[in-house]
Structure 1
Amino acid sequence: MAISSGVRDWLLDSDPSLRWQVERDLTGATPQVWQATRARVATEGFGAALLARQDPDGQWAGGAYFPGGFAESPEADAPGQPWVATTWTLKDLRDAGVDASVLHGTAEKLAANSRWEYEDLPYWDGEVDVCINAFTLATGAWLGVDMSALARWFVDHRLADGGWNCEAEEGRSTRSSFHSTLNAVRELLYYEQLTGDDSARDARHGGEEYLLRRRLLYRLSTGEPVGDFVHEFTYPHRYRYSALTALDHFRAVSLHEGSRPDPRLDDAVALVRGSRLPDGTWRQGAPLLGRSWVSVDAAEGAPSRWLTLFGTRVLDWWDATH
């Protein structure tokens, strides 16, 4: 799906964290061009702002998943949650394309100084929440930590229906969740791409099959839509599932494994295509509430550069094989 020159220029007129992906995925820029733009993420704009907020002990906001002292603060009673603590900031930096070498020494500092709010567990060991463990697995691998033990956790904790659920470890659910399963398979793929360790690939494929059997949109039991969240496209998506985020993952799987798109993605592709505005952009949905270090994308209702990147590259990938 060709984009207009106006949309292309609008996408390129952006923070380096977005621009390098536009150059790589949409404009056909050479590796030398997009890699040079990617190198700027650590020194300009969004990436530089996050790096400047790091605490001397290696953390951000004094905490692992929540800011230090969060449970006793007025913020704990506010809607949403803050997105400024260590796990979220590292995920943002990783997604932005920051080179891990910029964070030299951070992995060691976190091993020494950061503990999970859940039972004071060591940071790189993970805890019991599958989404938290997924983010930790990928980020640890990015920073050069041996995360193979945590990768095995996903194999051992997959549910009988094929996916994962953040509530399973507390006994509150025995059924998989769209949100948890997508977070798990996305970060397992990233871990495999980075390390070459494919020991959890079968588990990842099982989670992907869980989503594919439901065509990314529907309840398996009734065939009804699983919820409004599937078509609520927002960036940053943090942990929340949408058809667009899921399709972007299956695009990455196809490119990594050299596989053709699964035909069961067709309904989700139609949903994404139908959400595209006449000018070739996608509109920002309602953002997840909570404090963040910096504003990343457009206000609710405005055209979103990030969603336009994702939507365009998903449709380009799909249409190229159909």
Structure 2
Amino acid sequence: MTEKKEKKTVQSALAKIPAKKSSATIETGEKRLRLATEKHPTIEAIITDLFRFETKEQAETRIKAIKEHFIISAKLPKDSRDSNVLKLWIRGYMISDDEEKQGYLGNYAAFRVVQLKDKKFTIRAEKQNIALKYHPQRKRPKRKHPDWGHPALRLVKKGEIFETLEEANKLLKQLHTEYPDISIPAINKLFIILYSKADNPEKPVQKYILEVKPSRDGGFHIDYRLNDYQKKQLPVKKVRRNEDVEKLQNDNQQAGYFTSMITLKRDKKSKISDLRKKKQEGDK
């Protein structure tokens, strides 16, 4: 692993990791489209039924502007597509308790122009029950095993230099705290199970050893390697031949038989002796 000359704490090192580009924005030429959220003024006005237009054309013009401002998902299933109705995914929109447990971050809404009793027009949103797999965003379930994309493991893999031994061990402690079921802490070391399909597609879950080691230019780095330790197998004892086994069994059976016979004889003699003593005492 390559070593860096710069020294920094775990906090500053983690903060330095560049964030992944958000899927909430898409750049198209000079325009930057965004995913809709229920807190956006236009979306909030629609879902709270506040818009009022004198003509239907004005309402339709507003819907056209919404199409040009927000990301329109192309993930919708075929039976939910309608070129005449705008269906927009809105972050935070009408998420039920059950949906939240499943990982929903928002819902789709169909926007329609509706004429009111006073002859004016408004835009109304109606929730669409569309499966989670068609949503542009959803909660990522926590995996049982971390991968090299984990912020702490990214520092390990790129050979981050820590100023003190305590700072390096703090990172190992952080990993153990997050994954106590698949890690074992040791002195300046951590045994952990990682998921890495790129390293071994056939067996992506592998055991690793993370160990703090001194760096050449001072400070410390965390070395990583596969834990390929295998328990030593004891040598197989030589199996006796069948005839030897049978002879041993017969000898054991005979020994057991004679032992029982001796026990019975001793018991018999003891009882006879007791009877004689009682008879002698009775004659007196």
TM interval, short-chain normalised: under 0.3
Which of these two proteins has the greater Rg computed from alpha carbons?
2
| Greater strand share, structure number | 2
